[in-house]
Amino acid sequence: MRPALSVILLTTLIGVGQGLFAGLYTVQVFERIGLIQGPTGPLFYPVGSAFALAFLAAGLGASFFHLGRPERAWRAVAMWRTSWLSREVIVLPAFMACVFLYGVGHYLGGASSAPGGVDATLIVGAIGMALCLLLFLCTGMIYACLKFLQEWHTPLTVINYLLFGSASGLMLAAAYAAFVEPGLVRFFAGWAAVFTLAALVGRGASLIRNARLKPRSTLQSAIGVKHPRIVQASQGFLGGSFNTREFFHGASSTVMRSVKWLFLAAVFPVPLALLAAGSIGGAPGWLAAAFLVQYAGLLLERWFFFAQANHPQNLYYQRVS
């Protein structure tokens, strides 16, 4: 498939926002049950929520560049009964609203309580976490539900979206804490390392799986001819078409291999090394670099994710003997 920059930005940016919010809420829950010492500054949660909301909004904004008629974007919700894309369109704004209310609740002091004496921010945060997980599911299932794209049609697609988003968001949380709450750096860095290593396992499993896939379609089935030997001499067009532009990335196998090894290095070992250096030395710059390197790697990973999917129509339109 041809990777679209708008979709690459959408999926990676909202993943960062989701992971960052999950990290903030986890700190609050762990503090309430006495497992860690919470932040000392009153603006830790509001500013962190603002960062998460900014990433979510940036991802939502990027998605509009993928629409032919952006003014009709509201119609995307119409197919929510059957379309994972429609469900994502509904869940994303709802999640953003929860993040906003969560940050505002903490900014107002966090002392307002719901009936029963429970902190209202805990309730809003719990709803936000449920929507966060649901958003990961919706985003991943947009691709995992497509049976004719074997590279995507696997539970690993949803799992990797969750792991990558959580890892990048927690990596940002570690950098954020280094500037405002140094006491929480190791907490966030530890969880960022755990999710990054889990993402390495998940993505490695998908790469191994995809390398072993055998196409279900053949040139014979693509054109409906059962002759045992078919030689394709042209793409069927004198010039380009929608099919030749939208369903194939056009990159060589050398480029594909290079991108794969680049994202594997940038997403996993390099940020983990920077994360360790920043956690031990307490240097915010190392932690910020860890997030930036990993996010750059995620852009490459997401490009590879889309480019690796081989649409069956390419048997006819892209293969030239």
Rounded distance, CA 306 to CA 310, Å? Answer: 9
* Helix, strand, coil tally for the chain in percent (to 5): 75, 0, 25
Q: Work out the end-to-end distance of the chain between its first and last CA atoms, rounded to an integer number of angstroms.
A: 20
pLDDT computed for residue 168 by the predictor: 98
Q: How many CA atoms lie within 13 A of 255 on its CB side?
A: 9
Rounded distance, CA 134 to CA 165, Å? Answer: 13
pLDDT computed for residue 233 by the predictor: 66
* CATH for 115: 1.20.1630.10
The helix or strand, by DSSP H or E, that contains position 114, with its residue range, turns out to be strand 113-114
* Residue 296 vs residues 287, 289, 309: alpha-carbon distances, Å: 14, 10, 21
Rounded distance, CA 271 to CA 105, Å? Answer: 33
Which residues, 6+ apart, have CB-to-CB distance to 214 below 8 Å? none
The Cβ of residue 118 has, within 10 Å, a number of other Cβ atoms equal to 11
pLDDT computed for residue 78 by the predictor: 86
Which of 100, 78, 96 is closest to 87 using CA atoms?
78
Which residues, 6+ apart, have CB-to-CB distance to 64 below 8 Å? 6, 70, 73
User: Per-residue pLDDT for the chain (321 aa), expressed as one digit of tens each?
Assistant: 788 899 999 999 999 999 999 999 999 999 999 999 989 888 999 999 999 999 999 999 998 887 777 777 778 888 889 999 999 999 999 999 999 999 999 998 864 444 455 689 999 999 999 999 999 999 999 999 999 899 999 999 999 999 999 999 999 999 999 999 999 999 999 999 999 999 999 999 999 999 998 877 777 777 788 888 877 666 655 666 777 777 878 788 899 999 999 999 999 999 999 999 999 877 899 999 999 999 999 999 999 999 998 887 777 665 443
Task: Give the torsion sign (CA, 11, 14, 20, 25).
Answer: negative
pLDDT computed for residue 269 by the predictor: 97
Rounded distance, CA 16 to CA 228, Å? Answer: 50
Burial class (CB in 10 A: 0-12, 13-18, 19+), 146: middle
Tell me the two tokens of residue 27. Answer: 């700190």
Give the total residue count for the chain. Answer: 321
pLDDT computed for residue 1 by the predictor: 78
Task: Count the domains in the chain.
Answer: 1
Angle between the N-to-C axes of helices 155-180 and 284-308, in degrees from 0 to 180, rounded to the nearest 10: 160
pTM of the full structure: 0.91
Which residues, 6+ apart, have CB-to-CB distance to 311 below 8 Å? 1, 148, 149, 247, 248
pLDDT computed for residue 44 by the predictor: 96
Tell me the two tokens of residue 50. Answer: 């603002």
**β partners of residue 38:** none
pLDDT computed for residue 6 by the predictor: 93
Q: Find the domain containing 104 and state its range.
A: 5-317
